[in-house]
Structure 1
Amino acid sequence: MKEVIEVSNLSVYYENNEAIKNISFKADQGQLIGIVGPNGAGKSTLMKAVLGLEKYRGNVSILGKRVQEVRKQISYVPQRNQIDWDFPVLVEDVVMMGRASHIAWYKRPGKRDKEIVQECLDKVGMTKFSKRQIGELSGGQQQRVFIARSLAQQADIFFLDEPFVGIDVTSEEIIIDLLRELKRQQKTVFVVHHDLSKVQDYFDQLLLINKELIQFGAVEKVYTPEILQQTYKGSLALFGTDDHKMVVTPQ
């Protein structure tokens, strides 16, 4: 497999407090990777640092280059609570934002850009809402629109921060199906995720952190009671198995 990301000794400090410490890992092309850990473990901080959105110590290489050199090939979907949903913008315009890196600043979107926007809206089942204000939509619909924006960018590596929080079942099914399709296209997808009961169904690999890297590897190797207890410490309850799958609930 082709290596697409290498992170070495990554640390982030907030006013001399360590948010994450000395995290190192390598990720390959065509993987669907879940980032899991307890609240306050530094999951979002790790993602933002890798993207160059947080100051950090250490080294990050994406596609063998600095993140600033490969921005066009990276797509990021932030947490929904970080977005101003009252901003007056149409759904189709939000998705067109994903084309920004493909359109020269002095040009207007072309025919192909508009076609891609419509294709992406269709993939997330939001075509009929294209002329709606983004703030008029439900939480699940809003998340689907931002996934469509991400798809419109036609990136190679995708980062999604808690994409399944506060959305309906239909939206979650649509989104995970799209992420699996990206994997089949040999894209690499990172997802900050909190629902441990679904990690075996959703991901190929897990990156478990609690300010430090606990384990990174194939789900079948690292999704164990011992590693989960090490990750969540006293904030995890194990309830046995369900159809041969561990049922775990962060407390």
Structure 2
Amino acid sequence: ANPRDRLKERNILRHAESLMHADRHEAALDAFEQVLQTDPNNRYATLRSGITLLKMNRFDDAIPRLRKSVEIDPSQVETHYALADALTRSGQIEAAIQQWMETVRLQPRRAAAWGNLALTLRASGRNDEAMNALVKALEIAPDDVRLLQNMALQQRQRGDRKAAIGTLEKAASVGGDEFVYPALLGLMLYDEKLPEDAEKWLLRVKPADANYAEARFRLAQIMIARGDREPARASLSEAIRARPSLLNQAHSLPELEALLAPDLRPIPAQEH
């Protein structure tokens, strides 16, 4: 090739990469395509355009591009990682598993790849293999909050509640704002009959959390058990507003039924 053409191509690729990092994905894709028009097997443009398509959530376009990138250079770990990601996001779990396995074969010290392999294995029902993958991931990155949270879910799924609690507590201690399971931790502690430990986590649960209603319901039970009637009433009210079906459960528990507003209590049967 003419060296002048190579220089022009390199400059276009550099510009495309800068556009990609600036989240100007359409413009970046156009620049990568410009190179591919004249050099259709360009390794860099093929891979990076596939990743750009992935960032744009255009999985149907990204997957064949990334498959071609694998064909061009099967030893390139980033290609397998990106293809695995695209396949996972598009719901092609079995194909994704194969690519995650190839990724960790090529780069066995990559904790995120082991973690993603675990997620896809769990999605396919291969729970023992998923656990093994998470163990490997945490050997590499023992304080990674996302890996710890996924491990806790895996332990809980296996019925090992105490191990899951311990793992979640570690995730909370190292994760800061990235810890997203205060409700799950609080509810499991409540089920283990540790109300004081449970309360501090249940109080952190925000309304957007899927378990908010149950968290407030359990808080009401904890509060009324120690005689904090008004906070318990407020918590129960929040639980029922968030999930009206909890009203029936409140009626079945005398200590909570007494907290209900008069218009929410059942009408007693009339004597004749």
Same fold (TM over 0.5): no
More strand by share: 1
> Rg bigger for which structure?
2
TM-score using structure 2 length: 0.29
